[in-house]
Amino acid sequence: MDPMIRLILAQGMLGLNNGVFYAMLSLGLAVIFGLLNVVNFAHGALYMLGAFLALILYSYAGAWVGLDALHIGFWPALIIAPLLVACFGMLIERFMLRRLYKLDPIYSLLLTFGVTLVLQGLFINFFNASGTPYPGMPESLRGVVNLGFMMFPKYRLFVIIFSIVVCFVVWYMIERTRIGSRLRAGTENPELVKAFGINVPLMVMLTFGFGTGLAGLAGVLAAPIYSVSPLMGANLIIVIFAVVVIGGMGSIAGAVVTGFSLGLVEGITKVFYAPAANTVIFLLMVIILLVRPNGLFGRQG
Amino acid sequence: MSNTTTDIGEFEENTGEPEHRTRSRIWQGIFWVALIGFLLIAPALLYPVFVMQLLCFALFAAAFNLLIGFTGLLSFGHAAFFGGAAYIAGHALKVWGFPPLLGIATGTLFAAALGWAVGSLAIRRQGIYFAMITLALAQIVYFLVLQLPFTGGEDGLQGIPRGHLLGFIDLNQPLAMYYTVAAIFLIGFLVIYRIIHSPFGQVLQAIRENEPRALSLGYNVDRFKLLAFVLSAALAGLAGSTKALVFQFASLTDAHWQMSGEVILMTLLGGMGTIFGPVVGSFIVVALQHALSGIGSWVQVVIGGTFIACVLLFRRGIVGELARLLKINSL
């Protein structure tokens, strides 16, 4: 195989790997925005929280209950951490965000920005600001697989496949099931849905929990790849915002597709001009704003 | 502005009775006297460098307020103008050997140009998207500052000379520097005050209250928004350039998104859409940061907590609440 093509494929795979996190986070943002009209700035911080919970479950939780030898591993963490993040998200929704729905959406953006600073500050105080590696990668996912054009870490391949499945399930749930249709109806006309006897405030709380849980899940998946650091979410959320501006928050599928493709674009940019890799998504956003101001999948207005 | 408007929500305006207006003027006068009095005697009471820092941030917040408070646009990227101007002014002063005022003017002009570029992109989308776009565009500026060869990367731009004002006043004298900064602040603040009270400023407030109506009245809303954005960016740049001259360095912190967040907090805490709110808010935030500097990154937790408290408990901010207690409409 031509070495150039090989290089592009290899960087594309690594880019796709980042795309996983863009897709899962912008998916959660889109779900929340769809029903609550809230842009959750804390999404990055909740992703960080998910990663830290995985780390804590493995390295500290056992010692806290007096069982030094107990390490709660990756697989249990993949379920426990997102649930805990979702609960935290629901508390924020129930006690803070709920008071702001009648106001301009900038207030909920500012509130979640405050939550971000608090979470980030707390973790910088209790953990190392420069990051801690996650030691709990399962034995079965260690090692590499031969993709023909490169040796790819097994774990990263697992993350790509797993997240595609998650995104598909979420899309299917929202677009093709009864729960999803209620949710979409709640977005369109909450008063009418209330009249049908559906508990809209509860639905809103669960939706927010679900969206934030997705962020927590992405965090657990990220823990074995990147080092777990208090700032891992803050830098990501700004990229996610650009992704969301490019894709538009109107469509679930749009958010996912945009996320994966932008990861790919970013990876391939590394081949041609590495210094531009961390700004290419922002530059694409500029181009999109010039030629298609409402975003690729955006609705008018 | 007529008092028949009904859909005005948060920002209640009531300019009916003349008695009301007089009371408003009296209180504004008291605030002006207090502010100018503070500017004159502050160096006798407080450490001048600290007061100069207060004033730079107060001007930054007042410039930001022009946008959020009087046009209704939330920019999440104002650090780009503040920090970007600090670097350009610093470079002009240090490498090109510009005199102090010309250096500051260069930084300010750069911020205005950057504001034009960012603003014309961001106003293509509305509401919450506007905030996200400005944040993302400011991140490009941050990466540029980090990577361009002249900025000193992680170390920042150091050793910026203060030089001589108008060729003969040595700015290395603390008091000379102080009164120069106080004058720059006052001029910037007066410019903002004039903008708010001009017919242009009235149109901005109409856009804030009801954009479709302003549009249907025949105003070119986008042009007004863009001009407001450029003015706000330029004044933020004036504050950033002045800060670079005072502290003799420009650092990455000045251009970081967290700085954009801090200026929002200063304005929110003091009172969005009030005249003196941003000054009060920035004084409190800067003083808080100084007082808490011993507890390390707990400061961030306190700042975040203040944010949450402001949004949940007093969205009018300190000066806004005061104005409500005094039953006046603008302070």
pLDDT for A62 equals: 77
Q: What is the pLDDT of residue B295?
A: 80
Those of residues 62-101 in A touching chain B at CB distance below 8 A are 96, 99-100
Whether B132 and A241 lie within 8 Å, measured CB to CB? yes
Given this model, what pLDDT does residue A299 score? 59
Cα B105-B109-B112 angle, rounded to 5 deg: 140
A278 touches chain B (CB under 8 A): yes
Which of A96, A111, A238 has its CB closest to that of B139? A238
Q: In Å, what is the CA distance from B95 to each residue of A182, B87, B155, B173, B245?
A: 63, 11, 17, 22, 14
User: Which pLDDT does position B4 carry in this prediction?
Assistant: 38
| B271 Ramachandran zone, left/alpha/beta (phi>0; psi -120 to 50) | left
pLDDT category, B174, cuts 50, 70, 90? confident
User: Residue B273 pLDDT > 50, yes or no?
Assistant: yes
> How many domains does chain B fold into?
1
> Residue A115: in which H helix or E strand, if any?
helix A106-126
Identify the residue among B144, B211, B311, B313 best suited for mutation to test binding to A, counting A beta carbons within 10 A and taking the highest: B311
- State which H helix or E strand residue B242 sits in: helix B221-247
Q: Give the span between the Cα atoms of B312 and A253, in whole angstroms.
A: 34
Q: What is the pLDDT of residue B68?
A: 93
Find the residue in B nearest to A116 (Cα). Answer: B304
| CA-based nearest residue in chain A for residue B137 | A282
CA distances from B121 to A155, B60, B67, B127 (A): 40, 22, 16, 14
Residue B65 lies in a domain: yes
Q: What is the pLDDT of residue A300?
A: 47
Position B326 in a domain: no
Whose tokens are 């500051």? That residue is B104
**Is B13 part of any domain?**
no
Task: Provide the 8-state DSSP code for B170.
Answer: E
Structure tokens at A208: 């927010």
**pLDDT per residue as tens digits for the range B231-257:** 999 999 999 999 999 999 899 999 999
Q: In B, which residues are within 8 Å of A42 by CB distance?
A: none
d(CA B176, CA B162): 11
Mean pLDDT, contiguous 10-residue spans, chain A (301 residues): 85 91 93 87 96 92 77 91 97 94 90 94 87 88 86 92 95 89 83 86 92 96 92 90 85 89 92 86 90 75 39
Which of residues B257 and B159 earns the better pLDDT score? B257
Element (H, E) at A146: strand A144-146
pLDDT > 70? residue B310: yes
Interchain pair A245, B264: CB under 8 A:
no
Decide if B35 is inside a domain.
no
Q: Residue B154: inside a domain, yes or no?
A: yes
The predicted structure's pLDDT at residue A277:
84
Please indicate if any CB of chain A lies within 8 Å of the CB of B8: no
Model confidence, pTM: 0.90
Is the separation of the CB atoms in A195 and A264 below 8 Å?
Answer: no
Beta bridge mates, B157: B250
Q: Would the CA dihedral through B290, B293, B295, B300 be positive or negative? A: positive
Across chain B, mean pLDDT equals 88
B159 or B63, which is more confident? B63
Contact between A242 and B136 using a beta-carbon 8 Å cutoff: yes
Q: What is the model's pLDDT at position B225? A: 94
Asked whether the predicted pLDDT for residue B282 surpasses 90, the reply is: yes
A287 touches chain B (CB under 8 A): no
> Do B111 and B240 touch, CB atoms closer than 8 A?
yes
Backbone angles phi and psi of A163, in degrees to 5: -75, -30
Among the listed residues A254, A253, A245, A256, the one whose alpha carbon sits nearest the alpha carbon of residue A281:
A245
Domain extent, residue B227, equals 52-253
Q: Is residue B322 part of a domain?
A: no
pLDDT of residue B102: 92
B253 touches chain A (CB under 8 A): no
